[in-house]
Amino acid sequence: MKILSSEIQAKEVLKNYTDIVLVPTMGNLHDGHISLVNKAKEIGKTIVSSIFINPLQFGVNEDFDSYPRTLENDLIQLEGAGSHFVFHPSKEILEGIKKRKAPLLSKKMCGKTRPDHFDGVVTIVGKLFEVIKPQFAVFGLKDYQQFLIIKDLASLSDFETEIIGSAIVREKDGLAMSSRNNLLTSDDRLLAPEIYKRLCWIKENISKKPNEILIKESIDFFKTKGLVPEYLKICDAENLEDLNHFSGRALIAIAMKLGDVRLIDNILLD
């Protein structure tokens, strides 16, 4: 595995390779990230992982400074998983970067409380696409809204990159794997699995009750645990518009803070 530490180096080395699959990360890797590398190996020949903690996607009072830096361990994991290259640029990659605006889809759900977040995401992902020129890029479906936004970026820009979604990887108790899980207090970690359990309850009852009742009962349930969702939605899986009744492809999505740690999760219904 070779580490590429600058834009110039990455372009020079990768121009000799085809069938490139990009796995973008911010480091602090867990089994969910490694599953993205495994997915990438099913798709293409040359696996390029990236590690860059992107300050552009962190808002005011968010956790950029406290985001764990675990580069040495990350590199060991990526090499073990079979990544051929790791693009690990310095913050100089942001100098003169083309600022991009996320589509209107970014104003929904997470975008309501993190107004500039997705602009930061598409700006850095656009830069990664420019430098690495992948034929494919793999994104986890835990952040389903981000997945849709990146698909939009790829289709509306000149990038010849196909966006591939990879299934959510969960802990044994159902909690979606996240780099932020390590920041949970012991008490909050015990509460966290209730998020996925409730999403499963909604899925089981979605044909039995109107969606608004399912959401109200679920919010009331969380209140009994001392929790208040930032949002809880049953929406169309393509445009994220609220659905009154389940029909076709739908998404059950939630964001919630446990203490200072913001967690997201979803279930996709076909």
Q: Is the Cβ–Cβ distance between 150 and 24 less than 8 Å? A: no
- Per-residue DSSP letter, 139: E
Task: Report the distance separating Cα 180 and Cα 182, nearest Å.
Answer: 5
Q: For this structure, is 33 an active site residue?
A: yes
Task: Report the distance separating Cα 244 and Cα 211, nearest Å.
Answer: 5
Q: Is the Cβ–Cβ distance between 49 and 78 less than 8 Å? A: yes
What do you get for the CA distance between the two ends of the chain, in Å? 39
- Per-residue DSSP letter, 176: B
Out of 30, 33, 88, 245, the active site residue is 33
What are the distances in angstroms from CA 148 to CA 29, 39, 192? Answer: 23, 18, 25
Q: What own/partner pairs with CB < 8 Å and gap ≥ 24 does 173-178 have?
A: 174/200, 176/32, 176/142, 176/263, 176/264, 176/265, 177/30, 177/31, 177/32, 177/142, 178/30, 178/32, 178/142, 178/263
Task: Report the distance separating Cα 21 and Cα 257, nearest Å.
Answer: 33
Could you give the dihedral angle defined by the CA atoms of residues 71, 180, 48 and 6, in that order, rounded to the nearest 10 degrees?
-50
What are the distances in angstroms from CA 180 to CA 31, 54, 123, 199, 256? Answer: 13, 15, 23, 20, 12
Which residues form the catalytic set?
33
